Amino acid sequence: MKNLLKSIWGILSYTFTSILCMISFLVFILIFDIGFGPSLFATLFLGTVLYFLIGKRKQEKKKAAKQQISDDLHRITQSQEGMSKEETQFFRETMNTAKNQILILEKNMHQVTKLKTIESRNNTIQLTKALFKEITNEPRRLHQVDKFLYSHLPSLVDLTEKYIEISNHEVKNKTTFEVLDKSASTIDEMCQLIAVDYASFKAEDLENMDLEIELAKQAIERDNESNENTENNEF
């Protein structure tokens, strides 16, 4: 019964907040002229179909994203050896705040077309989640991402929320559009900074990889020299 009521509420919420459903309702009334009751019924039917085809799928994707980040956060306990109780508590609180901010940012980035474009160009959500995962695996390096955790990520959340608020104004003038353009540019720059944050955090891994490659090359050269000397001695 509880699940049924939840589904009905989900269908109604999706139907009456979906632009496609509202347009369809107007089409049924104004163009097909089938009356208010039949139009409402047809719209509800369309909303039901779209809810299960699209709306519910989006909810499942959001739920999966939340679960993924929660799983990453759960792994913190496996990488905190040698940390004091106070350090562990501080780390968990910091990462829990970051988790919530990432979820809000992901929601914000998909509400407005302009923000979707910026996010897609910079791959921001994937980078924030990847960096979050890296930090949970290496809590001792928390200090290396202080700009990401305490400046870039929260600032980006605030900027996107303000952008959405302004873009939802029913009446817009020249000043409004100028503010939106300026905000979009700032958001784009902040997304680029997050990409830099991720690259900086992974730089050590790349340096280690370069070192390993160089050592491997030296080992190969020594083996080749040894083989050449052996062959020369045989002759």
- Mark whether 35 and 130 lie in a shared domain: no
Rounded to two decimals, what is the model's pTM? 0.58
Percent of the chain with pLDDT over 90: 38
Q: How far apart, in whole angstroms, are the C-alpha atoms of residue 207 and residue 55? A: 45
Is 69 part of a structural domain of the chain?
no
Is 117 part of a structural domain of the chain?
yes
- Mark whether 43 and 126 lie in a shared domain: no
What is the model's pLDDT at position 36? 77
- Mark whether 19 and 110 lie in a shared domain: no
- CB 159, CB 190: distance < 8 Å: yes
- Mark whether 130 and 198 lie in a shared domain: yes
Q: What is the pLDDT of residues 126-138, one digit of tens each?
A: 999 999 999 988 8
Percent of the chain with pLDDT over 70: 68
144: which DSSP letter?
A: G
Is 26 part of a structural domain of the chain?
yes
- Mark whether 99 and 53 lie in a shared domain: no
- Mark whether 201 and 116 lie in a shared domain: yes
Containing structural domain, residue 137? 79-234
Q: How far apart, in whole angstroms, are the C-alpha atoms of residue 231 and residue 40? A: 90
- CB 185, CB 122: distance < 8 Å: no
Q: How far apart, in whole angstroms, are the C-alpha atoms of residue 184 and residue 190? A: 10
Q: How far apart, in whole angstroms, are the C-alpha atoms of residue 112 and residue 29? A: 29
- Mark whether 26 and 86 lie in a shared domain: no
What is the model's pLDDT at position 211? 47
Q: How far apart, in whole angstroms, are the C-alpha atoms of residue 100 and residue 153? A: 11
Q: What is the mean pLDDT of the chain?
A: 79
What is the model's pLDDT at position 202? 85
More reliable by pLDDT, 58 or 154? 154
Is 23 part of a structural domain of the chain?
yes
Size (the chain), residues: 235
What is the model's pLDDT at position 49? 74
- Mark whether 25 and 119 lie in a shared domain: no
Is 66 part of a structural domain of the chain?
no
**DSSP line for 7-23:** HHHHHHHHHTT-HHHHH
Domains identified in the chain, total number:
2
- Mark whether 127 and 217 lie in a shared domain: yes
Is 32 part of a structural domain of the chain?
yes
Query: How many Å is the Cα radius of gyration of the chain?
Result: 27
Highest mean pLDDT of the ranges 25-29, 101-105, 231-235: 101-105
By C-alpha distance, which of 194, 209, 56 is closest to 129? 194
Q: How far apart, in whole angstroms, are the C-alpha atoms of residue 177 and residue 144? A: 37
- Mark whether 110 and 9 lie in a shared domain: no
- Mark whether 197 and 90 lie in a shared domain: yes
By C-alpha distance, which of 89, 90, 60, 92 is closest to 74? 92
Mean pLDDT of 40-69: 68
- Mark whether 113 and 211 lie in a shared domain: yes
Q: How far apart, in whole angstroms, are the C-alpha atoms of residue 220 and residue 207? A: 20
Mean pLDDT of 20-49: 74
Is 84 part of a structural domain of the chain?
yes
68: which DSSP letter?
A: H
What SS3 class is residue 69? helix
Within the chain, where are the H helices? Answer: 2-15, 19-26, 36-50, 56-74, 85-109, 113-122, 124-137, 146-147, 153-167, 174-234
Is 68 part of a structural domain of the chain?
no
